[in-house]
Amino acid sequence: MSYRRYAAERIAASLAVLFLAASLAYVIVHLVGPGQAKPTFQPGDAIDVVRRVNYVHYRHETYPGFLWRLVGHGSLGHDLRGRDLTSLTFGSAPVTLSLSAGAIVFALLVGVPLGVLWARRRLGRLVAAPFALLGVSVFPVGVWFYLSFYLSYRANAFPVAGYCNLFGSGGCSGPVQWSYHLVVPSIVLGVALAAVYAGVTRRLTLALDRSEDDRAAARRGAVIAFGKLLVRNASWLVGATFLVEILFQLEGLGRQLLLGYNLGDPPIIEATLIAATIVAVGLSLAVDLVAGAFLPEWRVNEFQQRLASGPDSSARAVSGV
């Protein structure tokens, strides 16, 4: 497939997903969800007068007007207090992306070595197999409880909550403080992902060991398959950080969604749902376009690759993971 066709298909698919997600958010919040629950107003309160006027305006926004606001003006609207939700919501996105990146790094550092040991060392199976089973079974709240108790409260090794900006100087900012505050949240979010990566790495390793084709080509196919898995997981984690952000009081998109619900502010809920989709789809699209430009194999659809591969081909084994 040529890169021009590949890029056109990826962009068209991403736009279709964004349109469907925005339409679904409008239906859920405007028509059948939180938007139908009228917030509580205090008579005579100056702020609540503003909230009441903005709520009436929000409730009377039509679907064409909603789409024109998003596409024509590039705006996520305003909350009931009049604050611009575009800057407010996307300002929370770096926290969510940082947590997602930390979870993937932890999953790679733990899951990939365990997967290799699982495939090539008999003793490694005694560690990797129970970890893979436990990792996908344990509830994140349980992991959070034990790690917070032993690493934060008892050992006082890591902070129990809070977030530091990656860029800046002094106080709670800079790469060191940023990564230090993300260690425990990343582990909590990444345990299940590490278990999945251990199983995937094991299958890829076994496929490469059994391959009778060119080892370099098989290894390249395995890297491509694993790279696509990482991209999909990164996009999925944008929406999966909700619980962890609440547990560690991180001001990300998940906590923003909870704030909108607690305040009885449906525009915040709607804007957060749309922003999370934009971030997830945009991240996936950006990586796909860059990787597809430099790696022709990246453009091959897994289903097409499976059809084109023979029954004993390593490419089929890799793409089937």
C-alpha 273/C-alpha 254 separation (Å) is: 9
C-alpha 132/C-alpha 112 separation (Å) is: 12
pLDDT in tens, 153-172: 777 888 878 888 888 766 77
More confident site: 85 or 321: 85
- In this structure, what is the dihedral angle of CA atoms 89, 94, 96, 101, given to the nearest 10 degrees? 160
Mean pLDDT taken over the chain: 82
More confident site: 153 or 186: 186
Pair of tokens at residue 121: 């060392």
Long-range contacts of 174-182 (CB under 8 A, 24+ apart): 178/98, 179/102, 182/98, 182/99, 182/102
Between 45-54, 158-167, 226-235, 252-261, the lowest mean confidence (pLDDT) is in 45-54
C-alpha 110/C-alpha 173 separation (Å) is: 27
pLDDT in tens, 1-23: 788 899 999 999 999 999 999 99
Identify the pLDDT of residue 123.
75
Pair of tokens at residue 261: 């619900």
Q: 17 and 277 in contact (C-beta within 8 Å)?
A: yes
Residue 209: pLDDT over 50: yes
Residue 144: pLDDT over 80: no
Residue 61: pLDDT over 80: yes
pLDDT in tens, 248-297: 888 899 888 888 888 888 899 999 999 999 999 999 999 999 988 888 88
